[in-house]
Amino acid sequence: MTAVDVDHARTDHAGTDALADRIRSLVLPDRVHGSIYTDPDVYARELERIWYATWVYVGHASEVPEPNDYVRKTIGPQQVVMTRDKTGAIHVLHNRCSHRGNLVCDAERGNAGSFRCPYHGWTFANTGDLLGFPFNQGYGGSRARAELPGLGVVPRVEAYRGFVFASLAPDGPTLREHLGAAAERLDRLCRLSPSGEVELTAGWVKHEVTANWKMLVENETDGYHPQFVHSSIFSISGSGIGALYSDKSTAVTRALGGGHTENDLSPEFRRLGVPMGWAGTPEAKIPDYVAAMRAAYGTETADEIMIDGSPHVMIFPNLFVAEIQLFQIQPLAVDRTVQHVTAIQFKGAPDLNRRLVTQCVGSVGPAGMLLADDAEMYERNQRGVAQRQPEWLDLTRGVHRERVDDDGHTIGTATDETSMRAMWRHYRELMT
Amino acid sequence: MEIVANEFATVSVSVDDRGNGTRLRLEDLRTGTVRHLDALELESIVWAPESWMRALLDPSQHRWRDAERGPDQESLGES
């Protein structure tokens, strides 16, 4: 079939890329223009150049543990189904019947080797193959099956440490190239499990905000806001995390390349030297976990792992690991975004996992305080940038004190906007 | 009785021992249609090639086959 170019925003009638020129003028090294968050043409290009072109996090292998398990997932506004076939291979399929375009799967998750569209009964294998359809004489018999299309198959699907990413583009960098230094942050997360594996089995909260998706990406590693926006939950919970986001902190904000960024609090956790201090959980409350970690890694290494803690990393454009919880960012429109949130679970750590779920209920559950704090800021921010003056958002915090670490990454202090500048640099490359 | 269900079908499964031996009783709960499977039929399903199972999932092969082919026509595996 002939592909139809629907990216009307790509070029104007003269054949020049006026939108690219405009985006170059809106995204500068030290500031961005407010319209970058509100312009529907910019959003349309983001879908084509970022969400439908680069690697996007889709789901975790632990969400489809058994053959023929499936879960509904998203790639931006696109509805997809992540399946594990009979042989154990993972596929990502477009959730759209090849007959009349109906959604084929409705349940959030299930177990099925084949899917039957409820509209006219077209039936597909969980690999996307068309298995058949009712009353096939209308198509000249079952031989027509070979001529008719199956479900759309997302062309590239790869996993790293169980984290499944997909790209709608048939060609491009490998997932490992895309992740770059961010891969090591997923390693850091996984080694907190005595078996080296993370499981996303705690269930999901979907939290929709009336805000542009980039507000969320920027905020995830903005170390300047926690002491203001989250002061109430820090004070109620007695958490010491807030104090780590200050100019006195040895924590750093780091640009990992590829638009990926992190707040690295491990220097502070090492200075404090308390195993599981990062999780606010004394060893005595999780004896089975601590014992399992020491048995798996040896006491010295296990204690280092438990002191260093979990990463706080934003993997562009949509996977955010915030120590104990995982966010998947999904844009629905230029001013509508869903955060899919779950408590991270470590395989082989039931006592720790119970506490992590409880903590996440308090932070990002339906009545959680942390996510609600941020959501309020996102929505206020979206309304704010629609105002006419001043037109620009400032990105200069800490630009004079940025430096390069031993690994060649640009770093700033815990509260500097190093991460935002890095994200926008990458965004500008992709969009123009 | 157990229910095996997903969003595409709902079937009850039970072991029927009213006869001289046991057999499996399957009921499509959306239509009430029942099929019994004895041990040898079940063993054959276990050993059936994957292509046979894929063919079985083609709706035109059974429930939604064209009327002119006749209600009793065995169609599986052919067009």
Edge-to-edge strand ranges of the sheet holding A56-60: A56-60, A163-167, A156-160
* Mean pLDDT score, B30-41: 97
Shared domain check, A268 and A415: yes
In a domain, B10, yes or no: yes
In a domain, B50, yes or no: yes
pLDDT tens track for A262-290: 999 999 999 999 999 999 899 999 999 99
In a domain, B25, yes or no: yes
Using an 8 Å Cβ cutoff, are A360 and A324 in contact?
Answer: yes
CATH number at residue A95: 2.102.10.10
- Cβ separation A134–B59 shorter than 8 A: yes
Region of poorest pLDDT, from A59-63, A175-179, A364-368: A364-368
Shared domain check, A331 and A187: yes
Shared domain check, A415 and A295: yes
Rounded Cα distance between A362 and A365, Å, is 6
Rounded Cα distance between A133 and A121, Å, is 6
The pLDDT-based confidence of A237 (bands split at 50, 70, 90) is confident
- Cβ separation A134–B64 shorter than 8 A: yes
The DSSP bridge pattern shows strands A156-160 and A31-33 to be unpaired
- Cβ separation B6–A136 shorter than 8 A: no
Contacting residues of A for B54, CB less than 8 Å apart: 125, 129, 131
Shared domain check, A198 and A148: no
- Name the helix (H) or strand (E) containing A314: strand A312-315
Shared domain check, A256 and A397: yes
Shared domain check, A230 and A133: no
Count of domains forming chain B: 1
B68 touches chain A (CB under 8 A): yes
In a domain, A136, yes or no: yes
In a domain, A48, yes or no: no
Using an 8 Å Cβ cutoff, are A343 and A205 in contact?
Answer: no
- Cβ separation B6–A131 shorter than 8 A: no
Smallest CA-to-CA distance from A198 within A310, A337, A366, A70 is with A310
pLDDT tens track for A183-197: 999 999 999 999 999
Taking CA–CA distances from B6, the nearest residue in chain A reads: A110
Q: Which of A160, A194, A210 is the last residue of a domain?
A: A160
- What ipTM does this complex have? 0.87
Q: Which of A116, A132, A134 sits opposite B8 (nearest CB)?
A: A116
CA A341, A342, A343, A344 dihedral sign is negative
Contacting residues of B for A137, CB less than 8 Å apart: 60, 66, 68-69
The answer, yes or no, to whether residue A2 has pLDDT greater than 50, is no
- Cβ separation A132–B66 shorter than 8 A: no
Report the alpha-carbon angle A360-A411-A266, nearest 5: 40
* Mean pLDDT score, A169-176: 97
In a domain, B26, yes or no: yes
In a domain, B69, yes or no: no
Total Cβ atoms within 10 A of residue A378 = 21
**Domain hosting residue B41, numbered range:** 2-64
In a domain, A24, yes or no: no
Shared domain check, A381 and A297: yes
Taking CA–CA distances from B77, the nearest residue in chain A reads: A142
pLDDT tens track for A155-172: 999 999 999 999 999 999
The DSSP bridge pattern shows strands A163-167 and A156-160 to be antiparallel
Q: Which of B57, B60, B65 sits opposite A114 (nearest CB)?
A: B57
Using an 8 Å Cβ cutoff, are A117 and A123 in contact?
Answer: yes
In a domain, A168, yes or no: no
Q: State percent of chain A over pLDDT 70.
A: 97
In a domain, A79, yes or no: yes
Shared domain check, A285 and A192: yes
* Mean pLDDT score, B55-74: 76
Phi (first) and psi of residue A385, to 5 degrees: -70, -15
Helix axes A350-364, A369-385, angle to 10 degrees: 40
pLDDT tens track for A51-106: 999 999 999 999 999 999 999 999 999 999 999 999 999 999 999 999 999 999 99
Helix axes A418-431, A18-26, angle to 10 degrees: 170
Count of domains forming chain A: 2
In a domain, A313, yes or no: yes
In a domain, B42, yes or no: yes
Chain A residues whose C-beta sits inside 8 Å of any chain B C-beta: 86, 105-107, 110-116, 121, 123, 125, 129, 131-138, 141-143, 145
In a domain, A236, yes or no: yes
- Cβ separation A107–B7 shorter than 8 A: yes
A138: closest CA of chain B, how far (Å): 9
pLDDT tens track for A128-158: 999 999 999 999 988 899 999 999 999 999 9
In a domain, B54, yes or no: yes
In a domain, B57, yes or no: yes
Q: A90 or A15, which is more confident?
A: A90
**Domain hosting residue A154, numbered range:** 57-160
In a domain, A35, yes or no: no
B19: closest CA of chain A, how far (Å): 32
Question: Average model confidence (pLDDT) for chain A?
Answer: 94
Shared domain check, A197 and A126: no
